[in-house]
Structure 1
Amino acid sequence: MPDKRVYVSPLREKAAAQTRALILAEAEQLFAERGYGRVTVADIAAAAGVASKTVFASVGSKADILDRIVDKAVSLSGYQEAVARILALPTPEAVLQALARGTRAGNETQFKAQEAILKALPVHENGPALWERATAAYRGALHDVAGHLRQVGAPPHRYSVQETADLLWLWFGPTGWRTLVVENGWSWDRAEKVLCQTARAALC
């Protein structure tokens, strides 16, 4: 009996990937602007110029789309490479300067995704789990940085490693950046400078 193989067209696969990317980009934009609860699959389909059934077939439900946005934001934040560079620095001052620059870059480049996630939390069916999923790696990275600060000379009598990690989250976590840039209208440059100065004054 002849072997029947399913032929996969590279062009068709490329077109499908482009459609998925377009749907996710339009959904991210809509979630960030209107809020997750005020956006329907039909809205996403219209923005992407496809049918609603194409959205479901390509990326799934609205909750599935948000999950994909979270995964993409974590992946594209570049936190692993940034933390690796930070953990090689020899002084607390250099560590905090690099941390300010790195977290600014991650939050600025992934701003729409962060807005989409934050605006979804009040109405999402499992907001706490969504936030944990979106921020677990971020918080873990800051804990690693806190431990490194102790190793390179940050005064041990001021704060424990966990307290230092908590303070880094306060200053350099997504809500810290958002408070200054979105809610208070600071520039990213000004926020980076002041957050770095604040952390150095407290930890060095």
Structure 2
Amino acid sequence: MYASTGGKSSILAGLISEGIADPIVDETLAAVGMSSDPQEAVAVATHGVRIDNERHFDLVRVLVTAAALDETAKETLTRANRSYREALGVVAGRLEDLDALGQGMLVDRAADILWFFLGHHSWRLYVTDSGWSWNDTEKWLAEQVSAALLSDRAD
């Protein structure tokens, strides 16, 4: 089987590519783009990211572990993270379009903050390591993102 597929790393890369192409990403970004309220945009983004993480949670966990030992897995994780961060950049851009970012907040900084709170590492920390439910994690992370990014005008 490995001879025909290119080995474990190639199989993993193929599965991750399917995860990156999950329609929830485009659906979430479209919904964020339609949001006229910054709080709603954050809630929609957080929910979409939650669904994506929940669907691919085990696969990402395997990839993170494999990336420590295998160069192809590391490259796959880097590519997946870049795609993830680009999507979060779209969310940050929408918040900027809504004039909702805190004073002096740049889109790139907002995208970094979104990655900090909504990256796969945060879901793993709360859901797996701390035993939080997906619902509790989603609610708390959305609150933290709003507090960190949104200006007082966005309330």
Distance 1:62 1:188 in 2: 29
Partner of 1:73: 19
Q: CA RMSD in A?
A: 1.6
Q: State the 1:166 CA deviation.
A: 0.3
Partner of 1:50: none
Task: Tell me the matched-pair count.
Answer: 150
Report whether the alignment pairs 1:62 with 2:8.
yes
Query: Which structure shows the bigger proportion of residues in helix conformation?
Result: 2
Equivalent residue of 2:21, what SS? Answer: helix
TM-score, normalised relative to structure 1: 0.68
Q: State the 1:109 CA deviation.
A: 0.9
Report whether the alignment pairs 1:89 with 2:28.
no
Residues 77, 120 of structure 1: alpha-carbon distance in 2 compared, 3 angstrom cutoff: farther
Contact 1:170 / 1:176 at 8 angstroms: preserved in 2? yes
Higher relative contact order (CA 8 A, sep 6+): 2
Equivalent residue of 1:87, what SS? Answer: helix
Q: Which runs of 5+ in 2 are unaligned?
A: 151-155
Identity rate, percent: 29
Residues 131, 55 of structure 1: alpha-carbon distance in 2 compared, 3 angstrom cutoff: closer
Distance 2:39 2:99 in 1: 10
Report whether the alignment pairs 1:129 with 2:80.
no
Distance 1:155 1:100 in 2: 16
One-letter code of the match for 1:122?
A: A
Partner of 2:118: 172
Contact 1:158 / 1:203 at 8 angstroms: preserved in 2? no
Q: Which runs of 5+ in 1 are unaligned?
A: 1-53
* 1:1-204 superposed matches below 5 A: 54-57=1-4, 59-76=5-22, 78-126=24-72, 128-204=74-150
